């Protein structure tokens, strides 16, 4: 009788372990599938206006806008640049042209044969963006022109009205990414595949904004900027979250949390700094 009880207990214990292991496996499988079902995208919501971009497009939009902030240009300049790049390259750094411009390259499809720089230069997003702004600021009254007119003065396109199709997107993302509208940019992302690297993130941040006061502690990079500049950096970090494994961004009493996927929510104030927290190994 005792042996039977012990055997029965062992069988029940074994079955329990199998059920627990099966439950863990099922939960992990469901979680993995749910992650795969997530559509990764970034949205800019300004008032009743909402625009969407793929994550790689949003990262390029963030760079283009950061350069305008660095140069002290008005948000209108970024709106024009974003609408232009969307029309010319779909906001992607492409290495080919078309029949109208076979040597066109980069975000703005600039042509070395027309004096925009070498092929390597126009394929450098920072160089290309600065070259665009260098030309834009020479257009008299560009900030008061219609976006499509200002863009055409710079690009001299065979399709001068095409930029108008992207004006709403340009305005929404420029307003968010310049920091003019706080808590306006949100990206819905899957869990990161690897740990983030604060040093790498800092290199990219300073390539866009120039040298800014920062301090790193573990997986968190703190950027000591304030007001609209802080929101510009915070939105830049969200737009680049997929590429650099950003998990959380804190600024001005608000937090964007990659895992929560519920946009910007109230959080403890960071004292005028932007805190960018990257994924740790094994997270």
Provide the percentage of residues in the chain whose pLDDT is more than 90.
80
pLDDT band at 9 (very low <50, low <70, confident <90, very high): low
Reported as a single tens digit per residue, the pLDDT across 108-122 is 999 999 999 999 999
More confident residue, 147 or 272: 147
pLDDT of residue 20: 47
Reported as a single tens digit per residue, the pLDDT across 148-182 is 999 999 998 877 789 999 999 999 999 999 999 99
Provide the percentage of residues in the chain whose pLDDT is more than 70.
86
3-state secondary structure of 53: strand
pLDDT of residue 38: 85
pLDDT of residue 132: 98
How much is the average pLDDT of 36-46? 90
CB 61 within 8 A of CB 239: yes
Residue 163 in tokens: 């930029």
Neighbour tally for 175: CB within 10 Å = 24
CB 150 within 8 A of CB 80: yes
d(CA 96, CA 44): 29
- What single-letter DSSP state applies at residue 181? S
pLDDT band at 59 (very low <50, low <70, confident <90, very high): very high
Reported as a single tens digit per residue, the pLDDT across 204-214 is 999 999 999 99
């Amino acid at each position: 009788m005792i042996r039977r009880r012990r055997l029965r207990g062992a069988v029940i214990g074994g079955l329990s372990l199998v059920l627990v292991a099966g439950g863990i496996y099922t939960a992990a499988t469901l979680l993995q599938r749910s992650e795969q079902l997530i559509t990764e995208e970034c949205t800019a919501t300004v008032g009743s206006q909402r625009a969407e971009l793929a994550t790689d497009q949003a990262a390029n939009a963030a760079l283009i806008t950061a350069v305008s902030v660095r140069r002290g240009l008005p948000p209108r300049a970024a709106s024009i640049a974003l609408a232009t790049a969307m029309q010319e390259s779909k906001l992607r750094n492409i290495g080919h042209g078309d029949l109208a411009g076979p040597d066109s390259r980069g975000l703005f499809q600039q042509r070395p044969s027309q004096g925009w720089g070498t092929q390597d230069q126009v394929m450098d997003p920072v160089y290309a963006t600065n070259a665009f702004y260098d030309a834009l600021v020479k257009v008299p009254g560009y900030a008061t022109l219609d976006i499509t007119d200002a863009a055409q003065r710079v690009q001299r396109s065979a399709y001068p009205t095409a930029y108008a199709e992207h004006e709403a997107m340009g305005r929404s993302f420029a307003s968010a990414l310049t920091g003019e509208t706080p808590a306006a940019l949100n990206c819905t992302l899957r869990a990161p595949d690897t740990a983030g690297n604060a040093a790498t993130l800092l290199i990219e941040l300073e390539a866009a904004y120039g040298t800014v006061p920062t301090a790193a502690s573990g997986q968190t990079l703190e950027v000591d900027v304030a007001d609209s500049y802080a929101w510009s950096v915070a939105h830049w970090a969200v737009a680049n979250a997929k590429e650099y494994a950003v998990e959380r961004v804190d600024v001005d009493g608000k937090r964007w949390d990659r895992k929560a996927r519920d946009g910007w929510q109230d959080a403890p104030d960071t004292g005028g700094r932007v805190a960018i927290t990257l994924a740790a190994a094994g997270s």
